[in-house]
Amino acid sequence: MGSGARVAGRSAAAYERALELLPGGVNSPVRAMRQIGRDPVFVARGEGAELIDVDGNRYVDWVMSWGPLIAGHAHPDVVSAVTAAAAAGTSFGAPTEAEVELAAEVVERVPSAEMVRMTSSGTEAAMSALRLARAATGREQIVKFAGAYHGHSDGLLADAGSGLATHGIPASPGVTAAQAADTVIVPWNDPAALGAALAESPAAIICEPYAANMGLVPPEPGFLVALRDHADATGALLVFDEVITGFRVARGGAQERENVTPDLTVLGKVIGGGLPAAAYAGRRELMELVAPAGDVYQAGTLSGNPLATAAGLATLRLLDESAYSELDRLARALADGLTAAAREAGVAASAAVEPGLLTLFFSPEPPRDYEGAKRCDLDAQAAFCRGMLDRGVYLPPSQFEAWFPSLAHGDAHVEQTLSAAREVLAEL
């Protein structure tokens, strides 16, 4: 495991070259680490719970590709499933039995899912689920929550969290006024504001049932039930974006854990086991509106890709009840240890935690909405991340993200992280 002085020769050279060839040197904004004021690490490989950079430095990885790698890097079952699939052909643009198998796994686990449509990214899946909701209701407006992120499709970029929060972009240039006007933004955990927004008769209310793109901000007791009741009362469809929580917080995602069933569910990350796959799913009569069963058009050259399907199936098969107790135990050990370390160091920090997910907030109490998350001490958070990276712990380089424990992490990784955290917090 990582220790000692870190070198950055090859990472620095790769970044310099990348800046000439890729906007900001990266293919997705948060990777650039701008919010914590340093240059990114270029990765050579991953082993279990650890990353090895191009300079040979080792890190305990709590990012895990931002969630897909619930089994860890290069899990042997996943690698052999993908290798076998690749040897049989990487893409056909024709149906395969494995896609049906994966759909069956989703339907068996996720309470709201009777039928499934695969896509290649969570962005596409969320966008397509909302197209379906609009078609099914004959309405246009969508209600979303401030600080929630549902991918980068035009209408969903208003007040989104994740990379947008990190970069302080309220909405992106290039989004038309008409697209933005179709999205109504409501504060998270505020039932009264939601009631007012629903006077507009939206097609759908979309939420991350455990918001995790403003840092992890779980729903307050009763809030998800209120969403279900409001949707029923107004004829809007309830869409749970479980791209992060799906197959992570429980076998059937947050909807199983909270016992609230949405009309449509968006899945991503874990469903592809580290390869590009996502999906949307829901009741049969809704899903049969999708082409070619119905006329709501949506398609994809690589949708249900054989390699991604194989990785997803191999990953889901590792996720039994004991896996979820372990993910819960790890996340709680980390959250408890970090808050204790902050207390000892006199740093105002608090943790939000769910099975397989946590965020350390640099505020005395965990926030209950996006405004609260934005009030955290972002300078302290940035200094903490930089110090941890220097000590071989790779954290999400932003306050507005969650940490992702995996089945490859163990007590030694938690201990290494906590001992680095004690040192860094003492210096803050």
Ligand X SMILES: Cc1ncc(COP(=O)(O)O)c(C=O)c1O
Binding site residues, ligand X, CB under 6 A: 66, 121-123, 126, 149-151, 162, 208, 213, 241, 243-244, 268, 278
Could you count the other beta carbons within 10 Å of the beta carbon of residue 381? 25
Minimum Å gap between C-beta 376 and ligand X is 19
Determine which one of 53, 159, 241, 263 is catalytic: 241
Instruction: Give whichever of 151 and 392 is closer to ligand X, judged by the CB atom.
Output: 151
Which residue of this chain has its Cβ atom nearest to ligand X in the complex?
Answer: 122
In the complex, what is the shortest distance from the CB of residue 142 to ligand X, in angstroms, rounded to a whole number?
14
Q: Angle CA(412)–CA(400)–CA(272) in degrees, nearest 5?
A: 65
Residues 6+ apart with CB under 8 A from 4: none
The distance of closest approach from Cβ of residue 244 to ligand X in the complex, given in angstroms and rounded to an integer, is 5
Closer residue to ligand X in complex, CB, 250/278: 278
CA distances from 135 to 86, 120, 131, 139 (A): 37, 22, 6, 7
**Of the two residues 78 and 357, which places its CB atom closer to ligand X in the complex?**
357
Cα–Cα distance for residue pair 364/100, rounded to 1 Å:
48
Q: What is the nearest approach in angstroms of ligand X to the Cβ of residue 11?
A: 24
Q: State the minimum distance, in angstroms, from the CB of residue 418 to ligand X.
A: 26
Separation of alpha carbons 216 and 67, rounded Å: 13
Tell me the two tokens of residue 274. 């580290």
Catalytic annotation, pick one of 149, 324, 370, 394? 149
328 assigned to active site: no
Q: Which residues pair with 115 in a beta bridge?
A: 282
The letter for the amino acid at 412 is A
Q: Which residue lies nearer to ligand X by CB, 157 or 244?
A: 244
Output 30 or 380, the one with its CB closest to ligand X.
30
Would you say 269 or 391 has its CB closer to ligand X?
A: 269
Pair of tokens at residue 89: 């052909």
Catalytic annotation on 149?
Answer: yes
Catalytic (active site) residue 374? no
Active-site hit among 144, 269, 280, 328: 269
- Closest to ligand X by CB, 65 vs 179, is 65
Least distance in angstroms from the C-beta of 18 to ligand X: 20
Q: What tokens does 249 get?
A: 């917080």
Least distance in angstroms from the C-beta of 285 to ligand X? 25
Q: Enumerate the active-site residues.
A: 149, 241, 269
